[in-house]
Amino acid sequence: MRKPLMIGNWKMNKTISEAVSIVKSMKNAVVDVTDVEILLCPAFTALYAVNNEVKGSNINVGAQNLFWESEGAFTGEISPAMVKDTGCSYVLIGHSERRQYFGETNETVNKKVKGALAIGLNPVVCIGETLKEREENVTFNVIEKQIKEGAKGLTPEQAVLTVIAYEPVWAIGTGKTATPEQAQKVHAFVRKIYANMYKEEVADKIRILYGGSVNPGNVSNLMEQPDIDGGLVGGASLESESFAKLIKYSK
Ligand code: PEP
Q: Which of 37, 95, 97, 187 is catalytic?
A: 95
User: What's the pLDDT tens digit per position in 56-75?
Assistant: 999 999 999 999 999 999 99
180 Cα–ligand 1 center, Å? 16
Find out whether the beta carbon of 213 lies less than 6 Å from any atom of ligand 1: yes
232 Cα–ligand 1 center, Å? 7
The pLDDT assigned to 198 comes to: 97
Instruction: Give the number of the atom of ligand 1 that is nearest the alpha carbon of residue 96.
Output: 3
Q: How many domains does the chain have?
A: 1
- Categorize the per-residue pLDDT at 24 as very low, low, confident or very high, splitting at 50, 70 and 90: very high
Q: Residue 44: pLDDT above 90? A: yes
- Categorize the per-residue pLDDT at 250 as very low, low, confident or very high, splitting at 50, 70 and 90: confident
Q: Residue 251: pLDDT above 90? A: no
171 Cα–ligand 1 center, Å? 8
The pLDDT assigned to 201 comes to: 96
What radius of gyration, in Å, describes the C-alpha atoms of the chain?
A: 17
The pLDDT assigned to 98 comes to: 98
* Residue 167 appears among annotated catalytic residues: yes
- Categorize the per-residue pLDDT at 177 as very low, low, confident or very high, splitting at 50, 70 and 90: confident
Instruction: Give the number of the atom of ligand 1 that is nearest the alpha carbon of residue 172.
Output: 10
> Which domain does 28 fall in, by range?
5-247
Instruction: Give the number of the atom of ligand 1 that is nearest the alpha carbon of residue 236.
Output: 8
How far is Cα 211 from Cα 215, in angstroms, rounded to an integer? Answer: 10
User: What's the pLDDT tens digit per position in 189-223?
Assistant: 999 999 999 999 999 999 999 999 999 999 999 99
Mean pLDDT of 127-142: 97
* Residue 95 appears among annotated catalytic residues: yes
Q: State the CATH number of the domain containing residue 62.
A: 3.20.20.70
- Categorize the per-residue pLDDT at 171 as very low, low, confident or very high, splitting at 50, 70 and 90: very high
Find out whether the beta carbon of 212 lies less than 6 Å from any atom of ligand 1: yes
- The pTM (predicted TM-score) of the whole model is 0.97
